[in-house]
Amino acid sequence: MEDKVVAVNFQEVPWLQKDYHELLMRFKGQKPPHALMLYGKEGVGKVCLADALVSGILCRELKDGLPCGVCQSCRWIASGFHPDLYEIKGEAEIKVDEIRNIQQFARLTPETGKKVVVIKHADRMNLNAANSLLKVLEEPPTDLFFILESSSIEKLPITVRSRCQDYFVHAPSVEEALFFLQDLTVKKGQQINAEVLRLLLAISFDAPFKALSYLEDNYLEKRGNLLQTIHDLLSREISPAKGVAALLESEDLSFSYLFFLLTSSFEEARRSLFPNLEAIFMILLNMPEKMRLLQYEKLVEINRLRSSQTRTDWALEAWFVDFLG
Ligand SMILES: [Zn+2]
């Protein structure tokens, strides 16, 4: 699964501002947390919030609680290298070596008076890495803060979780998320039809940063073909093998669409928001409800195994063959 890092100005993310100020106060207070765990749904902006907190914690001249942008610390952040920051991006499995480096980092004298370790996608730590982190968390060095981020907190060992202060990051409301997407795309010079944005947000499970990563991945060009392929598959106009091959060219997006279409087939209120998809919904609604439920469960399982199984194409093809009988 891809994790595109979407560059967004933090102050343009309205629903995270309260979280930011509340958390920054904790770090600047008398009893700052040694380790903070930001958790919640994927794509609500936890990574963006973690980055903002780091800048805020390390800035020497906060202005209204926000990083000043001009002090040495802020300039280091902008340059991409800060001597008091050790960041693990968690783009792939996090191995023990990356965690062991923290011990060396902990021994350095901070330039700004504090040091921060950030571990994004912390649930990607393997067992050795998690055990190694636990050792540091058990005897936290002074002046060193940990910020962990995870969309699958349940995958982390309870021993690690119990050493962290949990903080749940809420998703914005649908309207708030839509406004944010609209505002951002307009600023980038893109005029996107409201219904298109609404659908993009819906297939992103209302997670705006997920929606943004799809946009950056040429969503606008892909969506038409993709919907046509799904329509043609379901109406038996193309073979499952051919259709699935086309779908898997945009694997994440295709799974998102299939989940969205299936779940919406159970909710009339949701379907009515997307008149353009009526033809696909009609085909789905002609299939028995029980069957749609069963297919939904099977799709969840295929999706779960996507990163570990080698032949997602076979599994998805078999899924369509089952569905179409
Ligand atoms: Zn600053």
33 CA → ligand 1 middle, Å: 21
pLDDT at residue number 6: 59
pLDDT at residue number 5: 52
77 CA → ligand 1 middle, Å: 9
Chain-centre distance of CA 103, in angstroms? 28
Q: Which residues have their alpha-adjacent CB atom under 5 A from ion ligand 1?
A: 59, 67-68, 71, 74
62 CA → ligand 1 middle, Å: 6
pLDDT at residue number 190: 85
**What is the identity of the amino acid at 266?**
F
Residue bearing tokens 């069957």? 291
254 CA → ligand 1 middle, Å: 42
Class of domain 10-168: alpha beta
pLDDT at residue number 191: 87
63 CA → ligand 1 middle, Å: 8
263 CA → ligand 1 middle, Å: 46
210 CA → ligand 1 middle, Å: 29
24 CA → ligand 1 middle, Å: 14
114 CA → ligand 1 middle, Å: 13
Q: Which stretches does DSSP call E strand in the chain?
A: 35-39, 85-88, 115-119, 144-150, 165-168
149 CA → ligand 1 middle, Å: 23
17 CA → ligand 1 middle, Å: 18
Chain-centre distance of CA 322, in angstroms? 31
pLDDT at residue number 252: 93
76 CA → ligand 1 middle, Å: 9
Assess contact for 83 and 58: CB atoms under 8 A: no
82 CA → ligand 1 middle, Å: 12
Can you give the residue ranges of every domain in the chain? Answer: 10-168, 218-324
pLDDT by 10-residue block (mean), the chain, 325 residues: 61 95 95 96 96 96 94 96 97 95 92 96 96 92 93 95 96 95 90 92 94 93 95 96 96 96 95 94 96 96 86 94 90
Assess contact for 164 and 130: CB atoms under 8 A: no
Q: Tell the burial category of 188 from Cβ atoms under 10 Å away from its Cβ (0-12, 13-18, 19+).
A: exposed
Q: Would you state the structure tokens that stand for residue 147, as one six-digit string?
A: 């910020």
180 CA → ligand 1 middle, Å: 26
What per-residue string of b and e applies to 21-58 under the rule 16 or more CB within 10 Å gives b?
eebbeebeeeebbbbbbbbbbbbbbbbbbbbbbbbbbb
pLDDT at residue number 234: 96
49 CA → ligand 1 middle, Å: 17
Of 86, 84, 156, 151, nearest to 118 by C-alpha is 86
pLDDT at residue number 309: 73
35 CA → ligand 1 middle, Å: 22
Q: Would you state the structure tokens that stand for residue 21, as one six-digit string?
A: 């100020």
pLDDT at residue number 2: 41
